[in-house]
A and B are shown apart, each in its own frame.
Chain A
Amino acid sequence: MSHSVLVCDDAIFMRTMISDILAQAGFEVVGEAETGVQAVDKYKQLKPDLVTMDIVMPDMGGIDAVREITKFDPDAKILMCSAMGQQALVVEAIQAGAKDFVVKPFQPSRVLEAVQRVLG
């Protein structure tokens, strides 16, 4: 059975690219969110197997969204999507409950590796 994924990023460009990478690898992108608030709402509604989470988003950033989601589901599998130079934020996200991270610019193979690690 293919895993369901919720893709959270404020840029359509990024969502498209991540969705394409995951869909081509057989994942089912069941939802997209462009703000932290949407990410939390959609997580509760869709209960996806995996979440990819951008750090900088309007209307509740990715880190707060991670906190909210793990409060709701401590086993949530969240993969942070970060840019170079955001180590402090990534550390914060991992402490908040994110399972792993990938760094932009994305290489499909690295994204898929990270996804597999998170899904264990």
Chain B
Amino acid sequence: MDLSQYAELFLAESREHLSACNQLLLEWERHPAAPEPVGGIFRAVHTVKGMAATMGYARVADLAHRMENLLDHLRRGAAGRRAGDDVLQLLFRATDALEKAIQVSAAGREQDADVVGIVAELDRAVQRFAPDTAPRHAPPSPPSPPSPPPEVSAPVVGPGRRVRVTLRPEAPLKGPRALIVLKRAAGLGTVSQVQPQPAALEAEDFEGQFSFWLAGPAPADLVVATLAAAGDVEEVRVDDDAAPVARAETGAPLESGKARHIRVDLRRLDALMDQIGELVTARGRLNQLAAERRDPMIDDLAIQISRLSADLQAEIIQARMTPVWQVFDRFPRLVRDLARDLGKPVAFRVEGKEIELDRAILDELGDPLVHLLRNAVDHGLETPADRRRAGKKPEGEIVLAAVRERASVAISIADDGRGIDRARILAKAQAEGLLDAHVETLSDDQLLRVLARPGFSTAAAVTSVSGRGVGIDVAMTKIRALGGTIDIRTEVGKGTTFVLRLPVTLAIVRALIAAVGRERYALPLTYVAETVEFGVVPITTVEGREAMVLRDRVVPLVHLRQLLGVNGDQPPARRPVIVIEMGERRTGLIVDGMLGQQEIVVKAFDAPRGTLPVFSGATIMGDGVPALILDAGGLL
């Protein structure tokens, strides 16, 4: 059978189990006497072992097996001992090694899986726990002295015959197999005088041959046929008469039936999404055509197709939704390791694990979150001594939370640490020439922009964890590329919170279509706060920039015509201003006209060098003409 088709499923499920292992190890570390974690870890490792063996990944299976041995001792509370720190650390390392071995094996490079060192460590640990017990993977102990002859006192029930059974040499688990043969025999008559003793059979302490006394009327050929069909039986002899043995060959496949479950390759889902995208585009064209023709029959059809494709689209988007825990679950381990390395005790909490995001977005979210979590542990939190001096409890707190907002998901990383010292950042930014000397205070926005400058770091010492300044700019670039935003809130002495806002899905968004010159541009509605008419609200100048005053708030203005370098024909007299909003920031975009809202299919867009950084992608309009999608983040 072709196993490669199961490789992805194997990988995905193994990751879940490894993630569970890490979670449980953390729990165990916190509550060393609790009985639950070790049982859960044992089950997870055991499951991985079975799957790996089935896939033929011998090294993964071997490592999992050794872990299982150790866990089994711990689970049985060997000598009433609870897990010491050294054992826990070993299990953490073994879990990491298992993850690596799984990854390279699933990638087809099993020979690169190096498990020798960790396997030896695990075995040494097992021996420490059970010095007098051979590890379970050791070859079976040599046969014990021959079983005593049948006890004379053992009742021989009625007339009967001695039956001798030989199991196939390659049969796995000969003990249980012998038990099945005996159970079958018991259905034919009364079984007694089993040799070797049943206890030895069950312990596999025999060579695959056993015999028993069978009393009852069943004819010899029936006995042979019944017992030979017990599986893995090589030979059955009754009363020393060599009876022929028919090997039970069964299992001829019947006609193929219908499975009730199907599993879909994720790439299929992506392809389906692309197709739906094309359908949505075609639907747009049909709607336009229907509007031009004014034919009620085309109209009806267009409406029907609109509804059907909208339903289809909703179904597919739903199928792509993935709960955030699939990414979040590895963070408790990450934070723990960091906290340990840096000597800062951290209470880490995760909230909103069940919130769902498009898988494509979620897959990209791991890296930025790792950067921000590292920052929080390394820079956000003070040392325990500093915390005590500041009157805080020595253990720092970090909360990672996901919340569903209207059309987006907000993910926050909050620490209760020292907060960011604005004055210090301002001084450094001014010294580096990033800000004018006359700026006196930094707003949250300015602060974030300074922090996100590539290479800007205020970390006194560049640690291996963070401090090279790559944290926030990497996170920011990634989040922006996903059509999201980052905000920061910080207060000295209280802590720092980063909030990432991400669209729920990437593939299809509702957008406002604006005209500038002869081109159309799409602006995702997520970031559109409102539209007003240019010139109706008062215009002013702030710091040399044109701005308008909208309900007592100053909103800077951007003329898209100028920004995009549109010359020639005059702009229309009446022009709309689209107010875009991201967190606290607002900007008004002056465009030539508005062409309405519609759903657009977002296509990746490779910007040529020198393109303004204000586009996040492209789309095909209903008439087949491409349009660029404006990036709200780049315009603010």
Residues of A within 8 A of B (CB): 2, 10-14, 16-17, 19-21, 23-30, 32, 54, 56-58, 82-88, 90-91, 94-95, 99-101, 103-106, 108-109, 112-117
Contacts and interface: CB of A to CB of B under 8 A. Distances in A.
B56 A105 contact: yes
Given A23-B259, A101-B176, A103-B173, A83 B50 contact: yes
Nearest to A82: B173
Contacts of B172: 84, 103
B54 A14 contact: yes
B257 A13 contact: no
A116 B203 CA distance: 27
Contacts of B54: 13-14, 17, 104-106
A5 to B, nearest CB: 10
Given A88-B202, A104-B54, A115 B251 contact: yes
B604 interface: no
Contacts of B50: 11, 14, 54, 83, 104-105
B47 A19 contact: no
A10 B257 contact: no
Contacts of A14: 47, 50-51, 54
Given A94-B176, A95-B179, A29 B231 contact: no
Contacts, number: 135
Given A11-B13, A91-B202, A104 B257 contact: no
Nearest to B42: A56
30 contacts: A2-B254, A11-B17, A11-B51, A14-B51, A16-B263, A19-B261, A23-B258, A24-B253, A25-B254, A25-B257, A28-B258, A29-B260, A30-B260, A56-B42, A58-B43, A87-B175, A87-B176, A88-B203, A90-B173, A91-B179, A94-B176, A103-B173, A109-B251, A112-B251, A112-B253, A113-B248, A113-B251, A115-B251, A116-B250, A117-B231
B137 interface: yes
B611 interface: no
B599 interface: no
Contact of A13 (B1, B13, B183): B13
B175 A117 contact: no
Contacts of B43: 10, 56-58
B474 interface: no
Interface of B: 1, 6, 9-10, 13-14, 17, 40, 42-43, 46-47, 49-51, 53-56, 65, 136-137, 172-173, 175-176, 179-180, 183, 202-204, 229-231, 248-251, 253-261, 263
B261 A32 contact: yes
A84 B173 CA distance: 7
A117 B259 contact: no
Contacts of B203: 87-88
B448 to A, nearest CB: 42
A87 B204 contact: yes
Given A12-B13, A16-B9, A30-B260, A25 B253 contact: yes
A54 B47 CA distance: 10
Contact of A87 (B47, B173, B248): B173
Nearest to A107: B1
A104 B10 contact: no
User: Which of A13, A14, A56, A112 is most buried by chain B, counting CB atoms within 10 A of its CB?
Assistant: A13
B255 A26 contact: yes
A16 B6 contact: yes
User: Which of B179, B248, B251, B258 is most buried by chain A, counting CB atoms within 10 A of its CB?
Assistant: B251
A13 B260 contact: no
Given A112-B251, A113-B248, A56 B175 contact: no
Given A84-B172, A91-B175, A104-B50, A19 B259 contact: yes
A84 B231 CA distance: 17
A28 B47 contact: no
B230 A117 contact: yes
A87 B260 contact: no
B51 A114 contact: no
Contacts of B255: 26
A90 B259 contact: no
A108 B204 contact: no
Contacts of A114: 231
A108 B250 CA distance: 12
A21 B2 CA distance: 11
Contacts of A112: 250-251, 253
A50 to B, nearest CB: 13
Given A26-B255, A58-B40, A87-B203, 15 more contacts: A10-B47, A13-B9, A16-B261, A24-B257, A25-B254, A26-B254, A56-B42, A83-B46, A85-B136, A87-B202, A90-B173, A104-B53, A105-B55, A105-B56, A114-B231
Contacts of B13: 11-13
Nearest to B257: A26
A30 B260 CA distance: 7
Contacts of A105: 50, 53-56
B251 A25 contact: yes
Contacts of A20: 259
Nearest to B202: A91
Contacts of B253: 24-26, 112
User: Which of B55, B176, B251 is most buried by chain A, counting CB atoms within 10 A of its CB?
Assistant: B176
A8 B566 CA distance: 66
B191 to A, nearest CB: 14
Contacts of B10: 13
A26 B253 CA distance: 7
A56 B173 contact: no
A73 B10 CA distance: 34
B180 A116 contact: no
A117 to B, nearest CB: 5
A99 B176 CA distance: 11
A114 B177 CA distance: 11
Contacts of A27: 254, 257
Contacts of A25: 251, 253-254, 257
Given A11-B50, A87-B173, A88-B202, A117 B257 contact: no
User: Which of A57, A103, A115 is most buried by chain B, counting CB atoms within 10 A of its CB?
Assistant: A103
Contacts of B256: 23-24, 26
B248 A29 contact: no
B308 to A, nearest CB: 32
Contacts of A117: 229-231, 248, 250
